Structure 1
Amino acid sequence: MILLKHNTGFSDYLPGIGLTLLVFLFSSGLFAQERESKSPNIVFILVDDLGWKDLGIQGSRYYLTPEIDELAEDGVRFTNAYAANPVCSPTRASILTGMDPAHHKVNISNWIGAQEYEDRSDDKMLQPQIADHLALERITMAESLKANGYSTYFIGKWHLGHTEEYWPENQGFDKNIAGWSKGNPGSFFSPYNNPRIEDGPEGEYLPFRLGREANSLLEEHRKERSDKPFFMYFSMYNVHTPIEAPENLIDVFRNRREKLGLNQDGIYEIDKGVKNRTNQSDATYAAMIWAMDSVIGSLMRKLEELGLEENTMVVFFSDNGGLSAPGYGVTSNKPLRGGKGWVYEGGIREPLIIKYPPLTDGDSNRVVEYPVISNDFFPTLLDVSRVEKKPDQSFSGISLKPILSSEEMPDRNLYWHYPHYSPQGGKPASAIRNGPWKLIHFYESGENELYNLKSDPSESTNLASLKPELVSKLEGDLMQYLKDIKAQFPKEK
């Protein structure tokens, strides 16, 4: 009889087998299956306004993100990952419900508060009215997981309801730290004037404070509820406006900018009458990104310190593209076109990293080109957690678990509907992606633009006039889809 011990604590008496069979057990995946048998913990990290190219591993030569780059090297990085909308509230609704935010049962196709905030008297079209909250009857990701034994924690930005009855603690979260009606923190330095977090010492920097809160929650959970899995939704206020960071960090990136010889004031180009930044050189924004990265690194180390890393799924994502238009233009999404507020790639394509050792170990640093969208997260987390959706519950997305296991995924269309005017100059539009093809329909002019994203990810060459049959088919599919979900449209004045 041979005694076999595994350094994770696994041990058993296995009579009559030797090293060869042990190797076979590892290679056959039986140990991985045993490791996956427990309900996984989930840490979902959502960054606000982070652009597709705002990470070192995504190609930025100015910003420093060593912690997230390491996360990508340990997990799976998706290069064609999309937000469901080019602004924040709709994408956040899609993540929590698994539904297209333009669906009539959600009806959040713009950021909540936009129509009260802006004077749209000069617009050519009337924008549709949207809901001012995420409806309580919608089953959220937190509610599903909580009903199946999870402790649920929310930290950071909510922006899915003006009044308290629609805040995280009433949408399935056991604890809510800093989540309320506002879409930005007002100030990144204490006092925060936020009813869901106590002010810290004057001058305390909010990202670091929220990072400490997240680590404390992990410690508390490990000590008091270690028998239960947890779902932590860490929805950062970084890197949204106001663009603020500690002065000592800004100095670091001023010096780095000088060493790299970057243009301090930015370089711009005109696109559809809107100036867009084409380089990354804003030192304060770079400092905000570094702070965000360091907080994530601290969180990953805390998971490891507490022995939670092996059975925790980590998802890293952004809610829309980077701010590239003047007045907001602190970053560039190049080679992608446009930025936040536009349905061009720079407004909707996001960095996405998923790490879950039982599925991604042995296949780390993998890059996936399959197009995915934020509607996919809810069904994915239910699938990985082995939680059944309710009979009357429907999703616009699909589970990504197969692709994490290197399995084939079905061909499908992706859709976007933004029937609004954005502060960044975006005009009412809808879009469809089918394989490499992307069609954008603009409502003011009725015009279509067609791009082959495989050969032209910058959307620089409109092929609509060369492929009228394809344009007709894609426009027809797009409009039928919007009709099926009972989406609202802009109207002529």
Structure 2
Amino acid sequence: MNFKVVKHSVLFALLVCSSIQLKAQLKIDEFKPNVVFILVDDLGWMDLGVQGSTFYQTPRVDELASNGLRFTDAYAANPVCSPTRASIMSGKDPADVSVNISNWIGAQLYEKRTNQALIQPGVGDHLPLEEITMAEAFQQQGYTTQFIGKWHLGETEEFWPEKQGFDDNIAGWSRGNPGSFFAPYNNPRISDGPDGEYLPYRLGNEAVSFIEQSAKEKDPFFLFLSMYNVHTPIEAPKDLVARFEKRRDQLKLSKKGTYKLDEGVESRTNQSDPTYAAMIWAMDSVVGMVQDKLDELNLTKETAIVFFSDNGGLSSPGYGVTSNLPLRGGKGFLYEGGIREPLIIRYDPLTSNHKGSVVAEPVISYDFYPTLLDIANLEKPKNQNLEGVSLKPLLSNNTVARESIFWHYPHYSPQKGKPGSAIRKGDFKLIHFYESNEDELYNLKKDIGEKNNIAKANPQLVKELKYELFQHLEKINASYPVKRPEKLDK
């Protein structure tokens, strides 16, 4: 055998392979994929089969996780809905003075109660038009943009989705819940279907129609499918409820919610509500509808899919329909149950080589804006100061450079959460409560349930984390609660 011929052949093969890899990389770095962002309302960290639920059934979301990446330490920027939604759209901490949405829009009606020790700061009633939303960034760079579902980022029509970067808006308006999950909906941004039509399926069909139309037009699209479920009212078709009543009985689960008081926080400890389970099934079915349509149109490999929730599951007495255990608390609390969310991201050009993997890196909802711009090879708007970081390196099995993430919730929640701020740095999380002026410190790696407050044993660490937390709050010019004058308490 001629050694020179073999050597040259090998070299030629290597050059060809390198050229192919380079072209593939250039394609990824220049290609503008479609984006489908699926945001579920009030879905808890333990509300998916892939997350460990043994009662709820979510085969299509589980399938999405098996084909993408699942994040175990993903966080909403706030324990209630509007602020997290504002953080996704703006790419900022929602407590930033430029956004000023640190509580759900509409909560202002409840913030003047004189029986509370602190006066809560004011909250904006809309996402300012001056903010260049993620949708506007995509729209301005050639994408067709579509909003479907819950908005809750503007009390009046001038601040609804079509004014914030979406070419079209179906069902997005001022309200945070649909009033009814069955037609008639009495929603000015969606026509009523036949009486009894179930809203999740209707919104799923609207999403499928948009994908079909976009495929015909061949322009890249940005779809934000913001589901109203699993928010209250807890409603589902009777046949689905009956299915999960049967499942509950087969599993010999309690017909009633059971609750436990844990250091002043009372939370539901069991998952057994059949109507809530039916709502989760319907949500899962809609995720399946979207995936099936992308597959059918051969769009899956050129579409980035994000699946996320806006805050933790409802677990408080009087509200509780699910359990977030082993996490502490739920919606309305700065404990993990209120802010840690299920997150799945699938984008085959980046995730297919390690699909089904689990990512434990802490991430937060205002990371999505820079992440999706990065994936889509779009420019960051010049006048938009994004506070998040791109998670694109994580999708390629690398790391991101960030030390800490923050929360600011200076409000009382309907679920009995109290005003506070928090920071997570590495495995440690500190929560500062304004009413008591007390700090709680937890090692989340050892204590995911936040049962062991180690603040007193680590005064130096508390001091350092607290300093960093308030440096951040000063940087964003956050508003604080103040002590109520005694004369108003009489």
User: Normalised by the shorter chain, which TM-score bucket?
Assistant: over 0.9
Aligned-residue offset at 1:260 = 0.8
Q: Residue 446 of structure 2 corresponds to which residue in structure 1? A: 455
Aligned residue number for residue 5 of structure 1: none
Deviation at 1:270, TM superposition (A): 1.1
State the secondary structure of the residue aligned to 2:374.
helix
Q: Aligned partners of 1:395 and 1:97: how far apart in 2?
A: 7
Structure 2 CA distance, aligned partners of 1:231 and 1:439?
36
The counterpart of 2:190, out of the listed 173, 197, 203, is: 197
Match of 2:106 among 113, 126, 130: 113
The whole-number CA distance in structure 2 between the counterparts of 1:364 and 1:97 is 29
The CA distance in 1 between the partners of 2:47 and 2:19, in whole Å, is: 38
After superposition, give the CA deviation of every residue in 1:159-214 in whole Å (9 maximum; x if it has no partner): 00010000000000001000000000000000000000000100000000000010
Alignment map for 1:89-128 (pairs within 5 Å): 89-117=82-110, 120-128=113-121
Whether the aligned pair in 2 keeps the contact of 1:337 and 1:458 (CA below 8 Å) is: yes
Tell me how far apart the structure 2 counterparts of residues 263 and 304 of structure 1 sit (CA, whole Å).
Answer: 40
2:48 paired with 1:48? no
Contact preservation (8 Å) 2:50, 2:62 = yes
Specify the alignment match of 1:235 in structure 2: 226
> How many angstroms does 1:418 deviate by?
0.2
1:387 to partner: Cα distance? 1.3
AA in 1 matched with 2:61: I
Of stretches 401-410 and 419-428 in structure 1, the one that deviates more from structure 2 is 401-410
Instruction: Check 1:486–1:191 CA distance in 2 against 1; reply closer, same or farther (3 A cut).
Output: same
Task: Please say which of residues 355-364 and 402-411 is displaced more in the overlay.
Answer: 402-411
User: C-alpha displacement at 1:30, in angstroms?
Assistant: 4.5
Residue 424 of structure 1 is matched in structure 2 by 415
Contact 2:129 2:159 in 1 (8 A): yes
Question: 1:121 deviation in Å?
Answer: 2.4
CA distance in 1, matches of 2:111, 2:234: 21
Contact 1:33 1:358 in 2 (8 A): no
The match for 1:215 among 208, 212, 220 is 208
Matched residue of 2:353: which SS? coil
Matched with 2:4 is none
2: CA distance, partners of 1:443 / 1:118: 16
The 8 Å contact of residues 332 and 416 in structure 2, kept in 1 or not, is answered as yes
Residue number in structure 2 paired with 1:379:
370
SS at match of 1:132: coil
Query: Does the Cα contact within 8 Å between 2:266 and 2:329 map onto a contact in 1?
Result: no
Could you tell me how far apart the structure 2 residues matched to 1:66 and 1:25 are?
A: 39
Cross-structure match for 1:8: none
Q: 1:364-375 to 2 correspondence within 5 Å? A: 364-375=355-366
CA distance in 1, matches of 2:404, 2:297: 41
TM-score under structure 1 length normalisation: 0.94
* 1:148 aligned residue: 141
- Partners of 1:393 and 1:185 in 2: CA distance: 32
Which consecutive unaligned segments of at least 5 residues does structure 1 have?
1-15
Give how far 1:24 is off. Answer: 3.8
Task: Check conservation: 2:36, 2:223, Cα contact below 8 A.
Answer: yes
Instruction: Give me the whole-angstrom Cα distance separating, in 2, the residues matched to 1:27 and 1:78.
Output: 31
CA drift of 1:31 comes to: 3.4
What is the aligned-residue identity percentage?
Answer: 62
- Further displaced range: 390-399 or 326-335: 390-399
Structure 2: distance between partners of 1:358 and 1:448: 44
- For the 8 Å contact 2:265–2:329, the answer to whether it is kept is no
**Deviates further, 269-278 or 248-257:** 269-278
The superposition leaves residues 272-323 of structure 1 with CA deviations (integer Å, 9 ceiling, x where unpaired) of 5443101100000000000000011011000111121110000000000000
2:299 is aligned with 1:304:
no
TM-score, normalised relative to structure 2: 0.94
Q: Residues 59 and 17 of structure 1: is their aligned pair in 2 closer, same or farther, counting only changes over 3 Å? A: same
The separation in 2 between residues aligned to 1:119 and 1:273, in whole angstroms, is: 24
User: Which amino acid in 2 is paired with 1:399?
Assistant: S
Cα deviations by residue, 1:38-67 (Å, 9 ceiling, x for unpaired): 201000000000000100000000000000
2:65 to 54, 69, 72: 72
Aligned residues: 476
In the superposition, relative to structure 1, how do residues 387 and 288 fare at CA in structure 2: closer, same or farther (>3 Å)?
Answer: same
Distance in 1 between residues matched to 2:113 and 2:331, nearest whole Å: 18
Relative to 1, partners in 2 of residues 1:211 and 1:256: Cα closer, same or farther, differing over 3 Å?
same
Contact persistence 2:48–2:57 (CA under 8 A)? yes
Distance 1:99 1:35 in 2: 27
The answer to whether the 8 A contact 1:76-1:368 is kept is yes
CA contact (8 A) 1:36 1:311 kept: no
Query: Secondary structure of the residue that 2:354 maps to in structure 1?
Result: coil
Residue correspondence of structure 1 range 260-339 to structure 2 within 5 A: 260-339=251-330
Q: Structure 2, unaligned stretches of length 5 or more? A: 1-8, 485-490
- Indicate how the Cα distance of structure 1 residues 20 and 266 shifts in structure 2: closer, same or farther if over 3 A, else same: farther
Partner of 2:459: 468
| 8 A Cα contact 1:411 1:435, kept in partner | no
CA 393–19 in structure 1, closer or farther in 2 if over 3 Å, else same: same
CA–CA separation in structure 2 for the residues paired with 1:253 and 1:210:
23
**Contact 1:432–1:438 under 8 Å retained in 2:** yes
Q: Match for residue 12 of structure 1? A: none
Q: How far, CA to CA, are the matches of 1:295 and 1:267 in structure 2? A: 30
Any idea what the Cα deviations from partners look like across 1:395-443, whole Å, max 9, x if unmatched? Answer: 1100001111112221411000000000001000000000000000000
State the alpha-carbon separation in 1 of the partners of residues 417 and 149 from structure 2.
27
Q: Hey, what's the Cα distance between the residues in 1 that align with 2:111 and 2:318?
A: 15
**Secondary structure of 2:42 counterpart:** coil
Q: Superposition pairs for residues 175-194 of structure 1, below 5 Å?
A: 175-194=168-187
- Measured after TM superposition, the shift of residue 393 of structure 1 is 1.9
Task: Single out whichever of 384-393 and 168-177 deviates more from structure 2.
Answer: 384-393
